Amino acid sequence: MEVPELMASKVNTGDVVARMREIHGALDSFAQTKRTTAAGEVADGAGRTETWVASSDARLDKRQVSALRDGEVAVQGEGHAETTLLDAAVAAGKRLRTIAASWSICEDCAKKLLQAGVQILTKIR
Ligand SMILES: [Zn+2]
């Protein structure tokens, strides 16, 4: 299984940040201040990529799910949105390549993400 690197270089990191903002923006303005939305580019062994999206809530709000497009996947899980994405990718045998979050990423999450080789596209706390 070689392929991945060339495919991976096609990832448009600007899209991940823009989509994270749009999907976070599907929440009402109060929820936007209370929850974190994270989006990341996830690649499988063949280099196929999807954008996975998670919330600091256990699941995305239904308005956020409605805002998802083809190739975007809602991920569920307890805890910080960033580690929910990372853990889900690892559990699926896939690689989280990039991540963008609607709020500055905490030190614990940043450490885990960097150790896993994830490119962090937004601010770290
Ligand atoms: Zn965190």
Ligand 1 centroid to Cα of residue 103, in Å, is 9
Q: What is the CA radius of gyration of the chain?
A: 13
Ligand 1 centroid to Cα of residue 62, in Å, is 23
Instruction: In whole angstroms, give the CA distance from residue 76 to residue 70.
Output: 18
Ligand 1 centroid to Cα of residue 84, in Å, is 9
Give the pTM: 0.89
pLDDT at 9 over 90: no
Low-confidence winner among 4-13, 19-28, 67-76 (lowest mean pLDDT): 4-13
**67 CB neighbour count, 10 Å cutoff:** 18
Mean pLDDT of 14-28: 95
Nearest to 53 by CA among 93, 29, 88, 8: 88
User: Where in the chain are the domains?
Assistant: 12-46+54-76+91-104
Nearest to 82 by CA among 106, 117, 60: 106
Ligand 1 centroid to Cα of residue 80, in Å, is 5
Instruction: In whole angstroms, give the CA distance from residue 49 to residue 55.
Output: 20
Confidence of residue 14 (pLDDT cuts 50, 70, 90): confident
Ligand 1 centroid to Cα of residue 66, in Å, is 25
